[in-house]
Amino acid sequence: MATAPTSEAVTAGTGTPPPGGKTRASVNIPRIVLYVILGLFCIYYLLPLYVMLSNSLKPLNEITSGGMMALPSDWTLAAWRSAWSEAQVGVAATGLKPYFANSFFMVIPAVAIATLLGALNGYVLTKWRFRGDTILFGLILFGCFIPFQIVLIPMARALGFLNISGTVSGLIFVHVIYGVSFSTLYFRNYYAAFPTELVRAAQIDGAGFFTIFYRILLPNSGPIAVVCVIWLFTNIWNDFLFGASFSDFDSQPMTVALNNLVQSSTGVKEYNVHFAGAIMAALPTLFVYIVAGRFFVRGLMTGSVKG
């Protein structure tokens, strides 16, 4: 490690403010520049959201006549109505509504099962350690990283074999399998910091495996459960590859339906409807992010395998 330089050079004051209370940059100009730059980046990140929102609220001719950046002059919810219940998605003119529902039916059980399994796995891997558990954990962890292209072909066959291909249940099955790697990672890292002495004490008092889990670990798992649920919810809701590979017309998740809506080449391109649909597909995850952003960020950080 680099050693801290000696403090004799203090006298060589080069204009830096003295240490204590306030640090550097009490001058105003750089401060203003700094805020301007940060503000410009805010605009950059918000711009696509603005484009989606404002264009979803105007009639199509305002977009095609070059007014994409303008606010709607004729505010209307027609595009939203169309995207929700009228637009042609694939073969049927049902709008995105049924697919929005599919996504919920898929994501809720998948998240619940994967989280519960992950919690149990994390509990075993930290409090009931055995020979080779770290290697086993590494092998489970690798599942987070495989490119899913490698499992597409055999999974298509396996779903057929289990008679759940092209159904929402099939998608739940797939998402649970590949979600467990993540939930195990979260809970293992979290429980590793949980005092093992408490578990030992409970054992001495005669508490069994599941009692300890329910009474001691679970009541203390709130934060990590939230992190895990948010992470899985976001990932599974946003998944496209599995949805596109393993669903039929009536079991498509929202992302696949949105893509079909936008890519369909028949007729006039209704950009305003596309934008409205895109916001609908984004709303659930965006909502979660706004309500529980702190946990979302923590999930991202742990997702990059930091302990």
Partner 1 sequence: MAQPMTGRSLRDWLPKLVLSPTVAMMAIFVYGFIFFTTYLSFTDSRMLPSYEWVGFDNYATLFKLRTWDIAVNNLLIFGGLYIGICCLLGLTLAILLDQKIRAEGFIRTIYLYPMALSFIVTGVAWKWFLDPGIGLEAVVQGWGWESFEFDWIKDRDMAIYTVVIAAVWQTSGFVMATFLAGLRGIDGEMLKAAEVDGASTFALYRRIVIPQLRPAFLSAFVVLAHMAIKSYDLVVALTNGGPGTATEVPATFMYSYTFTRNQMGVGAASAEIMLLTIAAVIIPYLWSELREKK
Map the footprint of partner 1 across residues 15-54, applying CB under 8 A: 16, 19, 23-25, 34-35, 37-38, 41-42, 44-49, 51-52
Tokens of 150: 């490698």
CA-wise closest residue to 234 among 181, 189, 287, 276: 287
SS3 of 173-188? HHHHHHHHHHHHHHHH
Q: Is 64 in the site for partner 1 (CB under 8 A)?
A: yes
Place of tokens 């669903």: 247
3-state secondary structure 111-173: HHHHHHHHHHHHHHHHHCCCCCHHHHHHHHHHCCCCCCHHHHHHHHHHHHHCCCCECHHHHHH
Residue from 76, 88, 169, 259 that binds partner 1 (CB under 8 A)? 259
**DSSP E strand stretches across 70-117:** none
Residues 219-238 that bind partner 1 (CB under 8 A): 234, 237-238
**Tokens encoding 179:** 């979600």
Q: Decide: is 125 part of the binding site for partner 1 (CB under 8 A).
A: yes
In the complex, least distance from residue 85 CB atom to partner 1, rounded to whole angstroms: 19
Phi, then psi, of 203 in degrees rounded to 5? -65, -45
Per CB under 8 A, 143 contacts partner 1: yes
Does position 206 interact with partner 1 (CB under 8 A)? The reply is no
Can residue 4 be called a binding residue for partner 1 (CB under 8 A)? yes
Taking CB under 8 A as the rule, does residue 58 contact partner 1?
no
Q: Which of 57, 124, 217, 228 binds partner 1 (CB under 8 A)?
A: 124
The distance of closest approach from Cβ of residue 9 to partner 1 in the complex, given in angstroms and rounded to an integer, is 5
Please work out the total of residues on this chain that contact partner 1, with binding judged by CB under 8 A.
115
Which residue from 98, 104, 109, 117 is in contact with partner 1, where contact means CB under 8 A?
117
